[in-house]
Amino acid sequence: MTTLLNYIKKRTNANCIWLMRQAGRYLPEFRKIRAENSDFIKLCLNEDLSSEITIQPLRRFEVDAAIIFSDILLVPYALGQTVSFKKDYGPILGNLNYNQIFKAEERKFLEKLNPVYGAIKKTKERKELKNKDLIGFVGAPWTILIYMLNRKSPKNKDIIHSLNDRKFIDELLKIIIKFLKLHIENQIKYGATIIQIFDSWAGLLDMNNYDKYIYEPTKELVRFTNSKNTPVICFPKGINDYKQYVNVVKPDVISIDYSVDPKEISENIDITVQGGLNPNFLLGDKEELKTNVKKYLDIFKNKQYIFNLGHGVLPNTNPNMVDYLVKLVKNYS
- Between CA 327 and CA 208 the distance in angstroms is 43
| Sequence-separated (6 or more) residues with CB below 8 Å from residue 208 | none
Angle at 272 between CA 268 and CA 275, to 5 degrees: 90
Alpha carbon 98 to its chain's center: 27
How many whole angstroms from its chain centre is CA 222?
14
Q: Which residues are catalytic?
A: 21, 25, 34, 71, 147
Phi-psi region of 85 (alpha: psi -120 to 50; beta: other; left: phi over 0): beta
- Distance of CA 53 to CAs 34, 41, 57, 138, 244, Å? 10, 14, 8, 18, 36
In whole angstroms, what is the distance from residue 312 CA to residue 229 CA? Answer: 27
Helix residue ranges, H only, 255-285: 262-268
Q: How far apart are CA 43 and CA 221, in angstroms?
A: 27
Closest alpha carbon to 148 in 52, 63, 77: 77
Q: How many other β-carbons are positioned within 10 Å of the β-carbon of residue 121?
A: 15
